[in-house]
């Protein structure tokens, strides 16, 4: 793995995941509650693995398999529930300072997330973080096939900035972030806040691995 300082010195643009690094989206309105709400929209006859899942993205993926109308209804409600969820939570400790530090050093910051673009924009506005974030590349449609770990959202961010993948780095706390970055040709800094997550993410061989978001900033 490359050192974080060395890696960042080679880049101009930081892509940052939202749920986890910026805030804990489902800390108050839990993911399992949102998943249960979405299941009721789809109907009672769910496959066992979907019925048992506490992940709303599993429900969205199943809804997409039922057809575009079902997928659209579920995604729109999911977006509303995400908006409800982020209205109840605060920024992750230290994230505001990290964002200001990146901007002060000349990086552009793009939020790249599977969460709804509307919910992300609402949260950034509520907490006066829009000045630190240049762009948002996040979920805008009911098709989950193009969410991370697929590289579509990163590809879109690269294109919107008019840059090349080699000038960008993805900072995220999930396997999907590392895999999407690799598929897009973008370097990755994996954020591992627990020993278990560190083992999981290290096995994916990210370009750098840190235990806290502040570790991904340049000193000084």
pLDDT tens by residue, 49-74: 999 999 999 999 999 999 999 999 99
User: Cα–chain-centroid distance for residue 182?
Assistant: 15
Regions of the chain where pLDDT drops below 50: 219-220
Upstream peptide bond of 82 is cis (omega within 30 degrees of 0):
no
What is residue 220's predicted lDDT score, i.e. its pLDDT? Answer: 36
pLDDT value, residue 219: 43
46 & 108 share domain? no
The Cα 198–Cα 190 span in angstroms is 8
End residue of a domain, out of 41, 61, 86: 86
**Which three-class secondary structure state does DSSP give residue 12?**
coil
Q: Assess whether 8 and 81 both reside in one domain.
A: no
Q: What is the pLDDT of residue 218?
A: 56
Q: What CATH number is given to the structural domain containing 95?
A: 3.40.50.1000
The answer on 209 and 169 residing in a single domain is: yes
Which pLDDT score is estimated for 44?
87
Q: Does 9 lie in the same domain as 101? A: yes
Q: Is the domain of 167 the same as that of 76?
A: no
> What average pLDDT is seen over the chain?
96
What is the total count of domains within the chain?
2
- Domain extent, residue 99, equals 4-23+91-216
**Distance from C-alpha of 124 to C-alpha of 136, rounded to nearest angstrom:** 10
The DSSP secondary structure of 171-204, one letter per residue, reads EESSHHHHHHHHHHT-EEEEE--SHHHHHHHHTT
């Amino acid at each position: 793995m490359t050192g974080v300082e060395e890696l960042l010195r080679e880049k101009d643009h930081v892509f940052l995941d939202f749920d986890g690094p910026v805030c804990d989206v489902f800390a108050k309105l839990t993911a399992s509650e949102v998943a249960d709400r979405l299941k009721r929209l789809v109907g009672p006859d769910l496959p066992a693995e979907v019925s048992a899942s506490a992940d709303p993205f599993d429900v969205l993926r199943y809804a997409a398999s039922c057809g575009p109308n079902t997928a659209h209804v579920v995604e729109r409600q999911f977006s509303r529930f995400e908006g409800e969820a982020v209205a109840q939570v605060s920024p992750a400790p230290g994230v505001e300072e990290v964002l200001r530090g990146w901007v002060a050093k000349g990086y552009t910051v793009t939020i790249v997330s599977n969460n709804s673009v509307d919910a992300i924009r609402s949260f950034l506005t509520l907490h006066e973080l829009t000045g630190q974030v240049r762009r948002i590349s996040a979920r805008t449609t009911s098709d989950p096939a193009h969410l991370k770990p697929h590289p579509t959202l990163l590809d879109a961010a690269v294109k919107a900035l008019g840059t090349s993948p080699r000038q960008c780095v993805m900072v995220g706390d999930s396997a999907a972030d590392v895999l999407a970055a690799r598929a897009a040709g973008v370097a990755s800094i994996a954020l591992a806040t627990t020993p278990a997550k560190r083992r999981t993410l290290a096995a994916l061989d990210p370009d750098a691995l840190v235990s806290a978001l502040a570790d991904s900033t340049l000193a000084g």
